[in-house]
A and B are shown apart, each in its own frame.
Chain A
Amino acid sequence: MHWIRYSFTEAWRSLWRQRNSAVLSVLTIGAAILVLGGFLLIGVNLDRAMARWSAAAEFSIYLRDDITPDERSAINRALTEHPSVASRVYVSREAALTRFTRDFPDLAAGVAGLLQNPLPASIEVRLNPQRSDADVVDRLARQVQASPGVSDVRFDRRWLERLARIAWAIQWAGWGLGGVLIIAAVLTVATVVRLGLHARRDEVEIMQLMGAPLGLLRGPLVVEGLIQGGLGGVLALGALLAGFAAGLRQLGPELSTIVDPSLVGFLPTALSAALVAGGMAVGGLGGLLAARHVR
């Protein structure tokens, strides 16, 4: 307990003495964590949206006008027996027209002028998110496509998978960029802590000659890094929160046309805490690198 108190007191004293360099170091860590946090925030929200869209994913089977009752029964049977299918709804040509007129009122007048209803009947299949592996559903879609009486099959999952690949690429780009910034931050902290160590070299030498344990000489240096990292992490989290709130205010109306507003949110508490802890780890590592010079 005493060791911790001593390390914190000494670390704080050293940071205060070289506060200008310490501010630079905190800002460097903050920038690295901010970039990482920004990409995490985008990734988390994309994941949320995709989870919702995946749960609602469906494929639509468009039926030929001349489909026979036997052919329709055969398709229904294939769907009922398949484990990936959670439910199915038959949409008649009339129901499709009613829905079209409701969803696209501007186009309704044009469709009303046509001699006959241009929309086909369809079966809308809702997939079971837990049991709808893409390959399995693909095979089902191909099987249904080949069935007599089917004119076309549209499968939502394909664009969701493309979106997932984009989200994955964004997240890895974030890790890559964040990683480079984190290395820079570790080196900055190590340099700042070493500068502090240099300023205190007489004191350290005297303490070594008086038999102070190595842990007592190195501890404050590691704690110095931890404090800088923690402050950088908190700063980054604050900036991220402010940026998120401002972005939401600015883009809120446009965003709500693309995605359900209830899906857009800030990072979960555990992830926010992990960001600050990550900042502390980065700082601690920098402090540890500097502490290796005390032998």
Chain B
Amino acid sequence: MYGRGVYALRDVSLRIEKGDFVFLTGPSGAGKSTLLRVLLRQEIPTGGQVTVGGRDLARLSPRQVQHYRRGLGFVFQDFKLIPARTVQENVGVVSRALGETSVQQQRRIYQVLKWVGLQHRMNAYPVELSGGEQQRVAIARALVHEPSLILADEPTGNLDPDLSLEIMNLFRDINSRGTTVLVATHDRELIRRVGRRTIALDHGRVAEAG
């Protein structure tokens, strides 16, 4: 609940199993992004409990939050790439900071970029890439730490239908390797074409649990 009695999410009770692929849908303001922020531990709910992998997110210390986030991957609608860094630097931004050795890091970055089909653009800057390519870089960055859960907030919002399906296929591939995927989108057509479990939110409540 935000101030003055405004609820972003209310009476939301749902369970997502390990290895699931779930769409989170609903109109603008339904609470999709808020739910993702709660799962990213950017927000702490004023009531109730959010548990991921047995951990109560509200009880995590700042250090545990950092550790928890390293097990997640996130993808945003606006890609959130660093303009002044190359593709490989964007993908390896945290690995480099965490001190992974250069060889390890380079190998892993190459693997994920190859997996998203961008190994030939490693030294390009984000501005030199198309929207679809930028989103694939963001996905590569989300995958580089082999997360157990991927959160995506409107990842195809800035892409045309063909590119959107291409990105969804990437998510399907990620999911087929055992990673749990939660994608927030209001694109009903895309959900229909991919055909996975869907949770619909409306005015902060679960309208349809799939």
Contact = CB atoms under 8 A, between A and B. Distances in A.
Interface stretch (B13-21, B22-30, B90-98): B90-98
B99 A206 contact: no
A110 interface: no
A205 B81 CA distance: 11
A216 B70 CA distance: 14
Interface string B54-82: 00000000110111111110100000101
B122 to A, nearest CB: 19
A207 B66 contact: no
B8 interface: no
B82 A210 contact: no
A52 to B, nearest CB: 56
Nearest to B151: A209
Given A202-B80, A203-B82, A209-B74, A216 B97 contact: yes
Contacts of A213: 63, 66, 98
A141 B151 CA distance: 90
B199 interface: no
* Interface size bracket, A side: 10 to 19
A245 interface: no
Nearest to B100: A2
A210 B80 contact: no
Question: Is chain B's interface secondary structure helix, strand, loop, or mixed overall?
Answer: helix
A212 B82 contact: no
Residue with the highest number of chain A CB atoms closer than 10 Å, among B68, B72, B82, B94: B94
A216 B82 contact: no
A169 interface: no
A90 interface: no
A3 interface: yes
A6 B97 CA distance: 7
A211 interface: yes
Given A207-B97, A211-B66, 19 more contacts: A2-B99, A17-B84, A202-B80, A202-B82, A203-B82, A203-B93, A207-B94, A209-B40, A209-B42, A210-B74, A210-B93, A211-B67, A211-B68, A211-B69, A211-B94, A212-B98, A213-B63, A213-B98, A216-B98
13 contacts: A203-B82, A203-B85, A209-B42, A209-B74, A210-B70, A210-B145, A211-B68, A211-B71, A211-B94, A213-B66, A213-B98, A214-B66, A216-B98
